């Protein structure tokens, strides 16, 4: 699991859902959609310390820093380790918020021509981000 500490910077609520914006580091912001509101849980308040957690298998890798797609959670970094398997490969990426691990298909490694030292952008869907207090 990838896990990073931050603080809640913004809350947008509609019915029983809240879009939570969490600042982790100077330039990195994560967004998560949760089925709770500030009225139903006490940790949903501006400035509250919170951990952002997501699985390695939920990370999408791009060789472009700002690909024109709908994913809002983007973290730039450089590949520091690449363990290629027959079907799946494990990437370690050095980022401003610490190491980030992605598990992607080995075919994707080949088609993107990923190598150690390359700059990449890790992308994560907002519904795959879990918040932990």
Tell me what pLDDT residue 60 has: 95
Contacts with 128 (C-beta within 8 Å, 6 or more apart), sequence order: 54, 55, 58
Tell me what pLDDT residue 76 has: 95
Look up the CATH number of the domain holding residue 110. 2.40.50.100
Average pLDDT over the chain, rounded to an integer: 95
Mean pLDDT of 87-111: 97
Percent of the chain clearing pLDDT 70 (strictly above): 100
Q: Considering only CA atoms, which of 26, 28, 27 is closest in space to residue 54?
A: 28
In the chain, the number of structural domains is 1
What range defines the domain where residue 112 resides? 2-132
């Amino acid at each position: 699991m990838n896990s990073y500490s931050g603080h809640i910077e913004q809350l947008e609520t509609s019915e029983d859902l809240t879009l939570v914006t969490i600042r982790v580091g100077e330039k990195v912001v994560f967004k998560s959609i949760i089925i709770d509101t500030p009225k139903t849980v006490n940790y949903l308040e501006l400035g509250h310390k919170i951990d952002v957690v997501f699985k390695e298998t939920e990370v999408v890798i791009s060789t472009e820093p700002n690909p024109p797609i709908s994913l809002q959670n983007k973290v730039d970094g450089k590949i520091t380790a690449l363990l290629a398997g027959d079907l799946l490969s494990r990437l370690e990426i050095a980022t401003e918020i610490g190491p980030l691990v992605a598990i992607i298909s080995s075919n994707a490694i080949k088609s993107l021509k990923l190598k150690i030292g390359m700059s990449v952008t890790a992308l994560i869907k907002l519904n795959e981000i879990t918040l932990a207090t």
